[in-house]
Chains A and B, each alone.
Chain A
Amino acid sequence: MTVTDERTGAAAPVSTTPLLEVRDLHVEFHTRDGVARAVNGVDYSVNAGETLAVLGESGSGKSVTAQTIMGILDMPPGRITQGEILFHGQDMLTMSAEQRRKIRGRKIAMIFQDALSSLNPVLSVGYQLGEMFRVHQGMSRKQARAKSIELMDRVRIPAAKERIGDYPHQFSGGMRQRIMIAMALALEPELIIADEPTTALDVTVQAQVMDLLAELQREYNMGLILITHDLGVVADVADKIAVMYAGRIVETSPVHDIYARPAHPYTKGLLRSIPRLDQKGQELYAIKGLPPNLTRIPGGCAFHPRCPMAQDVCATDVPLLHPVGAERGSACHFWKETIGD
């Protein structure tokens, strides 16, 4: 692709091209109340074998970004107004629908946040799992069934053989989530986008599922984008972290630096909100104020109405992603002060 060569430098060897790179992505929704700007310039990248954790306020555009990458955003009302999504250096947004379809599902798979509504309620779970093998790999009904049982076993659904004919509503929330995970893993993709894959799981199953993901990741050198609210899971598995607020990345960092020394006031507030033992019976710390109305995002730094460190400049100037050391970045005018105290 000529476009990408110009940007990354023509001499760049293939091996340094990230598996997936999102550049300056903007997505908006047209609603009766105005234009909701859900994603406002997201940049992130994942390499093969790497895990990127995307954190952020609920409603900050994590899922919308993921849906855009997968090409499953509802358009309308959604609209991609700007940006590129490079998979192996090729922009998926300018590809033909045919090319994109080949990537979707087979090379990039997604585990959805809403397990129940992503499964068809009138088809049995076994049928839906088997369909993937029949459609993509041309297996016979019988082979597909055997393969589905194997997958269900792999994500630790007890008595997979007996329950393969059951319908989604007959499984518990956590089991449905594991079925979704099984579907995503079925075709051994190069990249998995997992949107809160373990939210509905208890810690022991969560540990098993994360181990399973890690194992497959090593085995197939898979990239993983992990969207989650669980800072514990992030600390456990992520290589790097991107923190989102109001549709932008406000902080990026390798995993070990961020917990001890956050460089953005939002991240700092988030970390402070984790319940600690000595707070029993007291109020938990919570970032004050309401999440921004996306049809009217505050000017300057979008976080300024809620930021304890805000100064006048924050209301007028949009902070760029300042480099913090070699590998980190923070979109805050006062990152030095934030990291320092």
Chain B
Amino acid sequence: MTEPLTREPASRKPILQVRNLVKHFPLTRGILFKKEIGAVKAVDGISFDLYAGETLGIVGESGCGKSTVAKLLMNLEQATSGEVFYKGEDITRLSGRALKAVRRNIQMVFQDPYTSLNPRMTVGDIIGEPFDIHPEVAPKGDRRARVRELLDVVGLNPEYINRYPHQFSGGQRQRIGIARGLALNPEIIICDEPVSALDVSVQAQVVNLMEKLQDEFGLSYVFIAHDLSIVRHISDRVGVMYLGRMAEIGTDTEIYEHPTHPYTQALLSAVPVPDPQARERRERIILTGDVPSPANPPSGCRFRTRCWKAEERCAQETPLLAVPSVFAGSDSPAAHESACHFAAEKDVVGSASVDAA
């Protein structure tokens, strides 16, 4: 039904297959009779596989559609077109009971710890809600104890069970969100910037926890984040998005050490390094040119308005996400999928310094 996209060993089965996923938000005018005057092309044709037990990191410019992809995978937004196969079943078409069953197995941790918790529910009610909705997971008498255990698991004091979200700091709230995501013991967790609000030590705790749970239960993660070093630490494979499309995808080493797409190279060069000595030494690729609007993306390659390598061909032809022909058949780590006509390696100073840090 679908062909595997990546060169993975045949033994590994994808648990989630995303094919040509598209989401356009209509831009409308008028109050009673809404007239469509265009669309924000938030996600515009994305395909990837998620394998059982792996972590797929997704990085990219803010506004490029990462959260929208996450919501599409959860069926929280209706896809304009495209499919998401979970165990061979297209979940974009599900509804009602079937969807509810799938939701037990795919859970999400939200980006914004302030708005993702109901201000009028106690922490106990928030983390206990999954059990109310899926009563078969935990018998009624057990729930309170389960909630306390979950709090403990994410490193929050179980004594806080009767508190309200506003009584917590941003990082503490995010851990409440993670506890809620873990409650149903899902197979896939979509994490939309789960650790952005945490300090590095708590972040390390949460990442360790996520890895431990993964080892134990074979969980699969889609891990969206801006912090490239944490993505590198946790991910088996990394996808780089730009303006609603996937620019480059490969294993962590392929992406971080042998990026071939100019956007990835710029992104890596901008990583701030936790070392004040490096302030002056670092060579950043400063992107110039206008940030295009997703309502009106450039023709051909979407990165061409800011790409220093852009040529005539980039405006005419849309580069496909595939192993570039220059590297085809080669064994070099540069031979991974990259959507650029002129894909080539470039030593990124930033990534070298990340190593040093």
Contact = CB atoms under 8 A, between A and B. Distances in A.
A232 B272 contact: yes
A176 B270 CA distance: 21
Contact of A58 (B25, B111, B169): B169
| Listed residue (A59, A162, A233, A275) with the most chain B CB atoms within 10 angstroms of its CB | A275
Interface string A1-42: 000000000000000000000000000010111001000000
Contacts of A33: 159, 162-163
B299 interface: no
B95 interface: no
Interface residues of A, number: 68
Interface string A281-315: 00111110011010000000000000000000000
B275 interface: yes
A98 B169 CA distance: 30
A255 B277 CA distance: 10
A270 B202 CA distance: 9
A207 B199 contact: no
Contacts, number: 192
A283 B208 contact: yes
Contacts of B107: none
B63 A274 contact: no
Contacts of A104: none
B233 A56 contact: no
Contact of A173 (B112, B172, B278, B295): B112
Contacts of B197: 58, 113, 196, 199, 229
Given A114-B112, A283-B208, A172 B67 contact: yes
B67 A235 contact: no
A58 B154 CA distance: 14
B29 to A, nearest CB: 10
A293 B158 CA distance: 11
Contacts of A200: 62, 111-112, 193, 196, 226
A170 interface: yes
Contacts of A290: 155-157
Shortest 4 CB-CB contacts between residues of A and residues of B: A174-B62, A58-B171, A232-B272, A159-B293
Interface of B: 25, 27, 40, 59-63, 67, 111-112, 114-115, 155-157, 159, 162-163, 167-172, 193, 196-205, 207-208, 211, 226-230, 232-233, 252, 266-267, 270-279, 284, 286-287, 290-296, 354-355, 357
Given A173-B111, A202-B59, A286-B205, 6 more contacts: A33-B162, A56-B199, A63-B169, A199-B196, A229-B203, A231-B274
Interface of A: 29, 31-33, 36, 55-60, 63, 113-117, 156, 158-159, 162-163, 170-175, 177, 196, 199-207, 229-236, 255-256, 259, 269-271, 273-277, 279-280, 283-287, 290-291, 293
